[in-house]
Amino acid sequence: MISLSEISYLIDSKEKISNFSHVDKVDVFISAYNDSERVKHVFASVAATVKFWWILPEYGYSKEDLDKIPAGEVKIEGLPENEADLVLQGVEKSGLKDPTHLSICIDITGFMRPHIFMLLKYFKTLKAKSLTILYTEPERYSRGADTSFSLKDIQDVRQVSGYEGIHIPDTNKDVLLLGVGYDHQLMGQAIRFKEGARLLQLLSLPSLAADMYQESLVRVDKVDTDELNPPGRTEQFCSANDPFLVAASASKLYHREQANGGITNFYMCPLATKPQALGFALFYLRELADTASSVIFPFPRNYSKKTSEGIGRIWRYPIEF
């Protein structure tokens, strides 16, 4: 039985930001630089003692590209590809190795999903004074159902650093919880990687916008039918923009599977929105650490620098551990 204290993080505490003048100033603000208007708008609007642009290798920016960043905006460059090394070097270069006295705010809009997992674990482990996450929805994706977030081939499918879990040799009752998103190629790779596992699909509803939900379903249809319909496939709908409800839904699915015959190894793969990835991370850190549970991800070599148009709703997620 789970106690109320163990699921306190599942309470819906997201807040829509309409005016940044009403948001308290923070000590440190971190964002991943890309060409999206929604990322640049938030960077300019947040009140912080110091702000950092982290330059991610996956976007492949040239020196000429980065020279366009306004003078005075601090760039953290030369970060490695591995998500654990990237976060460790990023916080060191940003002077954040001891965050216990700092209020930290991170805009996850431009970060990759594995980075979100590592950032959350780092600031939880190092006990930041406070941690707030921001996410900005797009007004629309640039190419609708054909929008491609990842580029080129999948580098590999593997466990996310820090979320490897304990592996049980018996795989008879393995379960894969897949967060369904736009990248049908990534979905296919994840399903093949854990072939034979019972598939649980978490679809985003209410979605960021009605057309985005329809576009997501179009991309699901592009996944090979045999991959998408393994024995025991189950679907569930959940919020696309509320990580606390995502964590609650993931927790409910996990404990239902445990009650209905048990689980050998449990895998999660977040391929929908960034808030969904944040919800998976919250659930894992509070309930799955030191269990036979892992977060897996199909790692592309590169990501598109710009996939969206306009600025949608801006969400603020206070994180408490």
273-294 CB burial, b ≥16 within 10 A, e <16: bbbbbbbbbbbbbbbbeeebbb
User: CATH number for the domain including 277?
Assistant: 3.40.50
Say if CB 209 and CB 312 are below 8 A apart: yes
Alpha helices in the chain (DSSP H): 37-45, 63-66, 83-93, 113-125, 184-193, 210-220, 225-228, 243-259, 274-283
Q: How far apart are CA 89 and CA 218, in angstroms?
A: 39
Structure tokens at 204: 């985003």
Same domain for 155 and 97: no
Same domain for 46 and 171: no
Same domain for 157 and 118: no
SS (H, E, C) 20-60: HHHCCCEEEEEEECCCCHHHHHHHHHCCEEEEEEECCHHHC
Same domain for 195 and 134: no
Same domain for 268 and 194: yes
Same domain for 54 and 36: yes
Same domain for 267 and 126: no
Number of domains the chain contains: 2
Say if CB 90 and CB 54 are below 8 A apart: yes
Say if CB 320 and CB 247 are below 8 A apart: no
Q: How far apart are CA 2 and CA 271, in angstroms?
A: 27
pLDDT in single tens digits along all 321 residues of the chain: 454 445 566 666 899 999 999 999 999 999 999 999 999 999 999 999 999 999 999 999 999 999 999 999 999 999 999 999 999 999 999 999 999 999 999 999 999 999 999 999 999 999 999 999 999 998 876 544 444 445 456 668 999 999 999 999 999 999 999 998 766 677 788 888 898 899 999 987 655 554 444 444 434 444 444 444 444 557 788 888 999 999 999 999 999 999 999 999 999 999 989 999 999 999 999 999 999 999 999 988 777 776 668 899 999 999 987
Same domain for 135 and 149: no
Same domain for 232 and 189: yes
Q: How far apart are CA 108 and CA 115, in angstroms?
A: 9
Same domain for 291 and 311: no
- SS3 state at 90: helix
Same domain for 81 and 193: no
* Parent domain of 9: 4-141+307-319
Same domain for 267 and 176: yes
